[in-house]
Structure 1
Amino acid sequence: MDEYQGKWALVTGASAGLGAEFARQLAARGCHVIVTARRQERLEALAAELQDQGVQTVIIPADLASPEAPGAIMAALRQKQISPDILVNSAGFGLTGEYTDRSWAEQGDFLQLMVTACAALAHHCLPGMRERGWGRVINVSSVAGLVPPSAGHTLYGASKAFLVSFTQSLAAETARDGIGCCVVCPGFTYTEFHDVNGTREALNRAMPDWMMLHADDVAAGTLKAADRGHTVHVPGWQYKTIVALARIMPLWLAEKIARAQQGRYRKT
């Protein structure tokens, strides 16, 4: 825990859900925290909460669906002479419906936020971590990136699979530099995610309580996994079991099961 004292953590998607919880837990470890998301009023409320823990906070409202956002965030930090020691890529959302139901502009924005912005921020932050000989890159993926996808949310599983592979490569490249890279792949978690994309009602009907994870547990487990040098972290025994089964069963069977289940909780 002492190694986090006085470090700077940049957390995206910090206005709610996992992003906000990562910010809280990093502050509890003594980190100063940079929070970014679209909703400034949410960031201000979170920053006030974190300051009560005796850490410094910086608020940078930004929409990471914009190609200019990662560079603008880093420019704002350079003006404050801050170089993040920890990066948590937590911003994300889901597009419902079939692939061609959405315009390419919407799909392009989705990829910018879910894939390109994560890669860009890591590219910006890693040189400073290398120079100091310590760092953490935590990417928030999903169990959807480890199992066969279903219809609807067409790019979601693909973007999350990218984050898994991307993190594994970064971990191999940076381990000798004192940098830990970890990707967390949670299943269904109590956050605003399903309220925003309109799937909350279907999810509540289909998903028993024991299948739902809690954001504070996910964040805490991920930080512990990163400290232990784990590259891929799947929270919860239920999702560890699902991922293990998906890997050992024939691919055609895993795909068939995914398709059979999709209507229970997907808004397509």
Structure 2
Amino acid sequence: MTPLSPAPSSPTPAGHALVTGASSGIGAAIAREYAARGVPLILTARREDRLQQLADDLRRQVPVEVIASDLADPAAPAALVEEIHRRGLKVRILVNNAGYGVAGRYRVNDWPTHAAFLQLMIGAVSELIWRLLPDLRESGHGRIVNVSSVAGLVPGADGQTLYAPVKAYMVKLSESLHLENLDRGVNVTALCPGFTLSEFHDVTGTRGMMDKLPGWIWLQAGDVARAGIDAAERGQVVCVPGWRYKLLVFVAKHLPESWLLGLMKRNSKKYRKVD
């Protein structure tokens, strides 16, 4: 049985948690976890119907606002923040979770596909932080959770060429932002899970490959959500849920790079499209 989230030891600070990519997977799990902790929510994603279903469920616990937005559109981050402020809402917690993977080697996909991916994973993340940072700093208890990946902490794989680089960017961005904003009570955390049960691999078309992996390799989205939120509250900058993935990252930091690249080359076909 999954343990219940601990009750806050003091009243929850004022302000909403904005969760991007909240319609499923880790994003939905993070929204549920914040609702269980009494934090009002702003949910955004492309699929408004899925957001409304989640919001209807969570409104039994906390106030929930829904704003549908496709953050792969360069105009979307500014429009999203404008709508938040138009509704008179203050963001105290920003969770940058929206994301996906582009399957196949670099030249398999056209440039507009890669450009949309980079806009969502780097452009939108960076702009939302920039636009909302004044609110987070003003709250005196702001939190940013950037949902990165173990992929950003180990050598790149063959296939999904841009995925590891953008996840590494989120780690480094989190580290710098944390140092810059500690004086105003803002904690910034890069949440770096490994393989997590969600719709991610359905979207990338690799579900068949994933189903062949052993069960022990998978994390539960709820466990990942709790680990990330707890890490942000502690001021932990990089959070790797699960002892197996902690061990993987530790080993990756200490083995010669040539060995690691060789291992990635031999194993990429097990979980990436490489043709």
Same fold, TM-score > 0.5, yes or no: yes
Q: Given residue 128 of structure 1, which amino acid in structure 2 is its aligned partner?
A: D
1:7 deviates by: 2.7
Q: Is 1:165–2:172 an aligned residue pair? A: yes
Aligned pairs (5 A) from 1:71-220:
71-205=78-212, 207-220=213-226
Q: What letter matches 2:104 in structure 1?
A: G
Question: Which whole-Å CA distance do the structure 1 matches of 2:134 and 2:197 have between them?
Answer: 35
1:264 corresponds, among 257, 265, 270, to 270
Matched, 1:12 2:28: no
- C-alpha contact 1:9 1:34 (8 A) present in aligned 2: yes
Give distance in 2, aligned partners of 1:46 and 1:225.
24
SS in 2 for 1:242: helix
Of 15, 22, 30, which residue of structure 2 is paired with 1:22?
A: 30
Hey, what does 1:31 align to over in structure 2?
39
Deviation at 1:239, TM superposition (A): 0.6
State the shift of 1:133 in Å: 1.4
Is the alpha carbon distance of 1:123 and 1:3 closer, same or farther for their aligned partners in structure 2, counting shifts above 3 Å? farther
Q: C-alpha deviations, 1:151-200, integer Å up to 9, x for none?
A: 11000000000000000000010111101100111000000000111111
More helix by share: 1
Residue 224 of structure 2: SS of its match in structure 1?
helix
Report the secondary structure of 1:190's partner residue: coil
Tell me by how many angstroms 1:3 deviates: 4.7
State the 1:4 CA deviation: 3.0
1:241 is the counterpart of 2:247:
yes
TM-score by length of 1: 0.97
Is the 2:13–2:141 Cα contact (8 Å) retained in structure 1? no
SS at match of 1:151: coil
Q: Equivalents in 1 of 2:152, 2:235: separation in Å? A: 20
For residue 253 of structure 1, what is the aligned residue in structure 2?
259
Partner Cα separation in structure 2 for residue 196 and residue 114 of structure 1: 16
Q: Is 1:40 matched up with 2:51?
A: no
- 1:88 is paired with a residue whose SS is strand
Aligned 8 A contact 1:5 1:30 in 2: no
Q: Name stretches of at least 5 consecutive residues in structure 1 with no aligned partner.
A: none
Identity percentage of aligned residues: 44
In structure 1, how many angstroms separate the alpha carbons of the residues matched to 2:24 and 2:12?
Answer: 23
Q: Is the 8 A contact 1:83 1:125 kept in 2?
A: no
Code of the residue aligned with 1:236 in structure 2: it is G
Relative to 1, partners in 2 of residues 1:135 and 1:106: Cα closer, same or farther, differing over 3 Å? same
Tell me which amino acid in the other structure corresponds to 1:175. Answer: L
Code of the aligned partner of 2:72? A
CA distance in 1, matches of 2:73, 2:64: 23
In the alignment, is the contact (CA less than 8 A) between 1:11 and 1:19 conserved in 2? yes
Contact 1:5 1:29 in 2 (8 A): no
Q: 2:60 aligns with which of 41, 52, 65?
A: 52
For the aligned residues, what is the CA RMSD?
A: 0.9
